[in-house]
A = this chain, B = another copy of it.
Amino acid sequence: MTLEMVAARAGVARQTVSNAINSPELLRPQTLERVQRAIDELGYRPHRAAQALRTRASKLIGYGIRPSLAGAPTPVLDQFLHSLSEAADQAGYRVVLFAATPGDDELGCYQRLLDEHGADGFVLSGTDRGDRRQGWLHDRGVPFVAFGRTWSGRDVGDWVDVDGAAGTAASVRRLAGQGHEKIGFLGWPKGSGVGDDRARGWQTTMRELGLSIRGRRVESLDDPASATEAAERLLAGGATAAVAASDTLAVGWYQALRRSGRTPGPDAAVIGFDDSPIAPALFPALSSLAQPLDAVGRECMRLLLERLGDARRPTEHVLLAPTLVLRDSV
Protein backbone atom coordinates (compact mmCIF):
# COMPACT_ATOMS: atom_id res chain seq x y z
CA MET A 1 0.00 0.00 0.00
CA THR A 2 1.63 3.26 -1.08
CA LEU A 3 0.97 6.98 -1.26
CA GLU A 4 0.56 6.56 -5.02
CA MET A 5 -2.33 4.11 -4.60
CA VAL A 6 -4.12 6.51 -2.27
CA ALA A 7 -3.53 9.35 -4.75
CA ALA A 8 -4.98 7.26 -7.62
CA ARG A 9 -8.01 6.30 -5.56
CA ALA A 10 -8.69 9.90 -4.52
CA GLY A 11 -7.92 11.25 -7.98
CA VAL A 12 -5.33 13.72 -6.66
CA ALA A 13 -1.58 14.18 -6.94
CA ARG A 14 0.87 12.26 -4.74
CA GLN A 15 1.93 15.52 -3.08
CA THR A 16 -1.68 16.23 -2.12
CA VAL A 17 -1.86 12.95 -0.21
CA SER A 18 1.41 13.78 1.50
CA ASN A 19 0.03 17.17 2.46
CA ALA A 20 -3.15 15.59 3.79
CA ILE A 21 -1.06 13.49 6.15
CA ASN A 22 1.58 15.98 7.18
CA SER A 23 0.17 19.48 6.57
CA PRO A 24 -3.64 19.10 6.36
CA GLU A 25 -4.05 22.86 6.88
CA LEU A 26 -2.73 23.42 3.35
CA LEU A 27 -5.69 21.64 1.71
CA ARG A 28 -9.23 22.73 1.00
CA PRO A 29 -11.71 20.88 3.27
CA GLN A 30 -13.32 18.99 0.36
CA THR A 31 -9.95 17.76 -0.91
CA LEU A 32 -8.86 16.74 2.56
CA GLU A 33 -12.09 14.80 3.02
CA ARG A 34 -11.65 13.02 -0.31
CA VAL A 35 -8.09 11.95 0.54
CA GLN A 36 -9.12 10.92 4.04
CA ARG A 37 -11.88 8.72 2.58
CA ALA A 38 -9.41 7.04 0.21
CA ILE A 39 -7.00 6.46 3.12
CA ASP A 40 -9.77 4.89 5.18
CA GLU A 41 -11.10 2.74 2.33
CA LEU A 42 -7.66 1.40 1.46
CA GLY A 43 -6.59 0.99 5.08
CA TYR A 44 -3.42 2.93 4.24
CA ARG A 45 -0.93 3.40 7.07
CA PRO A 46 1.96 5.71 6.25
CA HIS A 47 5.41 4.22 6.76
CA ARG A 48 7.04 5.88 9.74
CA ALA A 49 10.50 6.07 8.22
CA ALA A 50 9.14 8.08 5.28
CA GLN A 51 7.02 10.18 7.60
CA ALA A 52 9.98 10.76 9.89
CA LEU A 53 11.91 12.40 7.08
CA ARG A 54 9.00 14.65 6.13
CA THR A 55 7.89 15.65 9.61
CA ARG A 56 11.12 15.23 11.59
CA ALA A 57 9.14 13.03 14.01
CA SER A 58 10.30 9.44 14.37
CA LYS A 59 7.41 8.49 16.66
CA LEU A 60 10.02 6.63 18.69
CA ILE A 61 10.52 7.16 22.41
CA GLY A 62 13.77 5.98 23.94
CA TYR A 63 14.02 4.04 27.18
CA GLY A 64 17.49 3.25 28.49
CA ILE A 65 17.34 -0.12 30.21
CA ARG A 66 19.97 -0.52 32.89
CA PRO A 67 21.51 -3.80 33.98
CA SER A 68 19.96 -5.25 37.11
CA LEU A 69 22.62 -5.35 39.79
CA ALA A 70 22.77 -8.20 42.26
CA GLY A 71 22.02 -6.92 45.76
CA ALA A 72 20.79 -3.53 44.55
CA PRO A 73 17.11 -2.66 44.81
CA THR A 74 15.69 -3.12 41.31
CA PRO A 75 12.08 -2.21 40.62
CA VAL A 76 9.89 -4.75 38.89
CA LEU A 77 10.03 -3.23 35.43
CA ASP A 78 7.88 -5.42 33.24
CA GLN A 79 4.58 -4.05 34.56
CA PHE A 80 5.82 -0.47 34.08
CA LEU A 81 7.16 -1.16 30.59
CA HIS A 82 3.94 -2.82 29.53
CA SER A 83 1.72 0.06 30.59
CA LEU A 84 4.20 2.52 29.08
CA SER A 85 4.18 0.65 25.75
CA GLU A 86 0.41 0.40 25.75
CA ALA A 87 -0.05 4.12 26.36
CA ALA A 88 2.55 4.89 23.68
CA ASP A 89 0.87 2.58 21.15
CA GLN A 90 -2.47 4.27 21.68
CA ALA A 91 -0.88 7.59 20.78
CA GLY A 92 0.91 6.22 17.72
CA TYR A 93 4.33 6.08 19.39
CA ARG A 94 6.66 3.18 20.12
CA VAL A 95 9.11 2.66 22.97
CA VAL A 96 12.58 1.76 21.75
CA LEU A 97 14.97 0.17 24.21
CA PHE A 98 18.66 0.79 24.41
CA ALA A 99 21.16 -0.67 26.83
CA ALA A 100 22.40 2.07 29.14
CA THR A 101 24.84 1.46 31.93
CA PRO A 102 25.05 4.19 34.57
CA GLY A 103 28.48 5.77 34.35
CA ASP A 104 30.67 7.69 31.99
CA ASP A 105 29.16 6.66 28.70
CA GLU A 106 25.49 6.68 29.71
CA LEU A 107 24.84 10.05 28.08
CA GLY A 108 26.64 8.83 24.96
CA CYS A 109 24.01 6.09 24.70
CA TYR A 110 21.30 8.76 24.72
CA GLN A 111 23.18 10.79 22.11
CA ARG A 112 23.47 7.79 19.80
CA LEU A 113 19.73 7.11 19.92
CA LEU A 114 19.13 10.74 18.98
CA ASP A 115 21.67 10.63 16.16
CA GLU A 116 20.69 7.34 14.64
CA HIS A 117 16.96 7.05 15.18
CA GLY A 118 15.99 10.65 15.85
CA ALA A 119 14.08 9.65 18.99
CA ASP A 120 11.35 12.21 19.71
CA GLY A 121 11.82 11.95 23.45
CA PHE A 122 12.93 9.78 26.35
CA VAL A 123 11.54 8.08 29.43
CA LEU A 124 14.01 7.80 32.30
CA SER A 125 13.78 5.55 35.32
CA GLY A 126 15.96 4.86 38.33
CA THR A 127 16.71 8.54 38.92
CA ASP A 128 19.05 9.25 41.81
CA ARG A 129 21.13 12.00 43.36
CA GLY A 130 23.81 13.24 40.99
CA ASP A 131 21.82 12.04 37.97
CA ARG A 132 23.09 13.96 34.91
CA ARG A 133 20.46 12.80 32.45
CA GLN A 134 17.72 15.35 33.20
CA GLY A 135 19.98 18.40 32.89
CA TRP A 136 21.68 17.02 29.79
CA LEU A 137 18.39 16.38 27.98
CA HIS A 138 16.93 19.70 29.12
CA ASP A 139 19.96 21.68 27.88
CA ARG A 140 19.56 20.06 24.45
CA GLY A 141 15.83 20.76 24.30
CA VAL A 142 15.04 17.04 24.13
CA PRO A 143 11.60 16.20 25.57
CA PHE A 144 11.66 13.66 28.40
CA VAL A 145 9.78 12.44 31.42
CA ALA A 146 11.25 10.60 34.39
CA PHE A 147 9.84 7.81 36.54
CA GLY A 148 11.46 9.18 39.67
CA ARG A 149 12.06 12.66 40.99
CA THR A 150 14.98 14.94 40.24
CA TRP A 151 16.75 14.21 43.53
CA SER A 152 19.50 16.81 43.22
CA GLY A 153 20.45 19.80 41.09
CA ARG A 154 18.07 21.79 38.90
CA ASP A 155 14.55 20.31 38.84
CA VAL A 156 14.17 20.84 35.10
CA GLY A 157 11.81 18.22 33.80
CA ASP A 158 8.46 16.49 34.11
CA TRP A 159 8.36 13.50 36.39
CA VAL A 160 6.08 10.90 37.89
CA ASP A 161 7.00 9.23 41.13
CA VAL A 162 5.61 7.04 43.87
CA ASP A 163 5.30 8.87 47.17
CA GLY A 164 7.56 6.73 49.35
CA ALA A 165 7.25 9.04 52.36
CA ALA A 166 3.44 8.87 52.21
CA GLY A 167 3.72 5.07 52.12
CA THR A 168 5.96 4.69 55.16
CA ALA A 169 3.87 7.34 56.96
CA ALA A 170 0.79 5.14 56.40
CA SER A 171 2.73 2.14 57.69
CA VAL A 172 3.72 3.99 60.89
CA ARG A 173 0.12 5.12 61.47
CA ARG A 174 -1.16 1.59 60.96
CA LEU A 175 1.34 0.15 63.45
CA ALA A 176 0.75 2.97 65.96
CA GLY A 177 -2.99 2.34 65.63
CA GLN A 178 -2.36 -1.21 66.77
CA GLY A 179 -0.66 0.11 69.90
CA HIS A 180 2.99 0.03 68.81
CA GLU A 181 5.18 2.88 70.06
CA LYS A 182 8.65 1.49 69.49
CA ILE A 183 8.55 1.39 65.71
CA GLY A 184 11.92 1.00 64.03
CA PHE A 185 13.01 1.81 60.49
CA LEU A 186 15.00 -0.74 58.53
CA GLY A 187 16.48 1.24 55.64
CA TRP A 188 19.25 1.42 53.08
CA PRO A 189 22.41 3.44 53.78
CA LYS A 190 21.70 7.19 53.69
CA GLY A 191 22.29 9.06 50.44
CA SER A 192 19.93 7.44 47.92
CA GLY A 193 16.94 9.50 46.81
CA VAL A 194 14.39 6.70 47.10
CA GLY A 195 15.76 5.35 50.39
CA ASP A 196 15.93 8.73 52.14
CA ASP A 197 12.38 9.52 50.99
CA ARG A 198 11.07 6.31 52.52
CA ALA A 199 12.96 7.05 55.76
CA ARG A 200 11.54 10.56 55.88
CA GLY A 201 7.90 9.38 56.00
CA TRP A 202 8.70 7.16 58.98
CA GLN A 203 10.65 9.89 60.79
CA THR A 204 8.12 12.68 60.24
CA THR A 205 5.17 10.56 61.31
CA MET A 206 6.93 9.22 64.40
CA ARG A 207 7.54 12.84 65.45
CA GLU A 208 3.96 13.85 64.67
CA LEU A 209 2.72 11.04 66.88
CA GLY A 210 5.15 12.04 69.65
CA LEU A 211 7.11 8.79 69.36
CA SER A 212 10.87 8.71 69.89
CA ILE A 213 13.12 7.82 66.95
CA ARG A 214 16.33 7.59 68.97
CA GLY A 215 18.16 4.40 68.17
CA ARG A 216 15.26 3.24 66.06
CA ARG A 217 16.82 3.65 62.62
CA VAL A 218 19.20 1.01 61.27
CA GLU A 219 20.82 0.67 57.86
CA SER A 220 21.52 -2.33 55.68
CA LEU A 221 22.30 -3.28 52.10
CA ASP A 222 19.38 -4.87 50.27
CA ASP A 223 20.18 -8.50 51.07
CA PRO A 224 18.65 -10.84 53.66
CA ALA A 225 21.90 -11.58 55.55
CA SER A 226 22.88 -7.99 56.34
CA ALA A 227 19.21 -7.08 56.88
CA THR A 228 19.04 -9.79 59.56
CA GLU A 229 21.95 -8.23 61.46
CA ALA A 230 20.36 -4.78 61.20
CA ALA A 231 16.99 -6.11 62.42
CA GLU A 232 18.73 -7.73 65.38
CA ARG A 233 20.02 -4.30 66.39
CA LEU A 234 16.45 -2.94 66.20
CA LEU A 235 15.14 -5.79 68.37
CA ALA A 236 18.02 -5.39 70.83
CA GLY A 237 16.97 -1.74 71.17
CA GLY A 238 13.47 -2.82 72.16
CA ALA A 239 11.57 -2.19 68.91
CA THR A 240 8.25 -4.06 68.77
CA ALA A 241 7.53 -3.26 65.14
CA ALA A 242 9.40 -2.22 62.00
CA VAL A 243 8.83 -0.33 58.78
CA ALA A 244 11.22 -1.59 56.08
CA ALA A 245 12.37 0.27 52.95
CA SER A 246 11.96 -2.91 50.88
CA ASP A 247 10.54 -6.41 51.13
CA THR A 248 14.07 -7.83 51.13
CA LEU A 249 14.93 -5.72 54.19
CA ALA A 250 11.71 -6.92 55.86
CA VAL A 251 13.02 -10.47 55.46
CA GLY A 252 15.75 -9.49 57.95
CA TRP A 253 13.06 -8.83 60.57
CA TYR A 254 11.65 -12.34 59.98
CA GLN A 255 15.01 -14.02 60.35
CA ALA A 256 16.12 -11.99 63.36
CA LEU A 257 12.89 -12.95 65.16
CA ARG A 258 13.31 -16.58 64.15
CA ARG A 259 16.78 -16.69 65.71
CA SER A 260 15.14 -15.97 69.03
CA GLY A 261 12.30 -18.44 68.38
CA ARG A 262 9.69 -15.86 67.48
CA THR A 263 7.52 -15.10 64.42
CA PRO A 264 6.28 -11.81 62.94
CA GLY A 265 2.73 -10.93 63.92
CA PRO A 266 0.81 -8.49 66.11
CA ASP A 267 3.56 -8.47 68.79
CA ALA A 268 6.45 -8.12 66.39
CA ALA A 269 4.92 -6.51 63.34
CA VAL A 270 6.61 -5.49 60.10
CA ILE A 271 5.56 -3.78 56.87
CA GLY A 272 7.69 -3.98 53.72
CA PHE A 273 7.80 -1.90 50.53
CA ASP A 274 7.17 -2.79 46.85
CA ASP A 275 4.76 -5.69 47.39
CA SER A 276 7.14 -7.90 45.46
CA PRO A 277 6.55 -11.66 44.90
CA ILE A 278 8.52 -12.17 48.13
CA ALA A 279 5.70 -10.69 50.25
CA PRO A 280 2.98 -13.36 49.83
CA ALA A 281 5.64 -16.11 49.77
CA LEU A 282 6.90 -15.46 53.30
CA PHE A 283 5.38 -17.10 56.38
CA PRO A 284 3.51 -15.35 57.83
CA ALA A 285 2.73 -13.40 54.67
CA LEU A 286 4.32 -9.93 54.64
CA SER A 287 2.25 -6.74 54.59
CA SER A 288 3.72 -4.33 52.05
CA LEU A 289 3.24 -1.13 50.08
CA ALA A 290 2.30 -1.77 46.43
CA GLN A 291 3.53 0.69 43.80
CA PRO A 292 0.88 1.64 41.22
CA LEU A 293 3.16 0.78 38.28
CA ASP A 294 0.38 0.69 35.69
CA ALA A 295 -0.61 4.23 36.62
CA VAL A 296 3.04 5.33 36.65
CA GLY A 297 3.48 4.09 33.05
CA ARG A 298 0.29 5.79 31.87
CA GLU A 299 1.09 9.09 33.59
CA CYS A 300 4.65 9.11 32.26
CA MET A 301 3.36 8.76 28.71
CA ARG A 302 0.66 11.40 29.27
CA LEU A 303 3.24 13.95 30.47
CA LEU A 304 5.65 13.13 27.66
CA LEU A 305 2.97 13.44 24.97
CA GLU A 306 1.91 16.80 26.37
CA ARG A 307 5.54 17.90 26.33
CA LEU A 308 5.97 16.73 22.72
CA GLY A 309 2.90 18.80 21.86
CA ASP A 310 4.06 21.91 23.70
CA ALA A 311 7.74 22.22 24.55
CA ARG A 312 7.11 25.36 26.62
CA ARG A 313 4.30 24.26 28.87
CA PRO A 314 5.21 24.50 32.58
CA THR A 315 6.76 21.37 34.09
CA GLU A 316 4.38 18.99 35.82
CA HIS A 317 5.14 16.60 38.65
CA VAL A 318 2.89 13.70 39.61
CA LEU A 319 3.22 11.92 42.95
CA LEU A 320 1.20 8.72 43.25
CA ALA A 321 0.48 7.11 46.61
CA PRO A 322 1.37 3.44 47.17
CA THR A 323 -1.31 1.12 48.56
CA LEU A 324 -0.87 -0.70 51.86
CA VAL A 325 -1.56 -4.41 51.29
CA LEU A 326 -2.27 -5.92 54.68
CA ARG A 327 -1.29 -9.52 55.40
CA ASP A 328 -0.45 -11.57 58.50
CA SER A 329 2.79 -9.79 59.46
CA VAL A 330 0.96 -7.00 61.36
Contacts and interface: CB of A to CB of B under 8 A. Distances in A.
A117 B48 contact: yes
Interface string A43-81: 001111110110000111001011110000010111101
Q: Chain A interface residue count: which class? A: 35 or more
B58 A68 contact: no
A115 B258 contact: no
A239 interface: no
A117 B49 contact: yes
A51 to B, nearest CB: 8
Nearest to A250: B281
Contact of A281 (B46, B52, B109, B247): B247
A72 to B, nearest CB: 12
Interface stretch (A95-103, A148-156, A174-182, A186-194): A95-103
Contact of A81 (B65, B79, B109, B224): B65
A280 interface: yes
Contacts of A258: 283
- Say how many copies of this protein the assembly contains: 2
B94 A65 contact: no
A16 interface: no
Nearest to A225: B280
A59 B98 CA distance: 13
Interface string A1-39: 100000000000000000000000000000000000000
Interface string A205-227: 00000000000000000011000
Interface stretch (A82-90, A129-137, A138-146, A309-317): A82-90
A116 B94 CA distance: 10
Given A65-B82, A98-B94, A281 B283 contact: no
Contacts of A112: 45
Given A45-B116, A281-B248, A282-B281, A85 B65 contact: yes
Contacts of A92: 116
A323 interface: no
Interface string A276-301: 11101111010000000000000000
A270 interface: no
B89 A49 contact: no
A113 interface: yes
Contact of A99 (B59, B76, B86, B113): B86
A119 to B, nearest CB: 9
B96 A82 contact: no
Given A89-B98, A94-B113, 17 more contacts: A47-B116, A47-B118, A49-B53, A49-B118, A59-B116, A60-B117, A65-B78, A67-B79, A67-B82, A68-B79, A76-B78, A85-B99, A86-B99, A248-B281, A251-B281, A258-B283, A278-B278
For the complex of A and B, list the 4 residue pairs with the smallest distance between their C-beta atoms, beginning with the closest: A86-B99, A49-B52, A85-B99, A95-B97
5 contacts: A49-B58, A60-B96, A82-B99, A85-B99, A89-B98
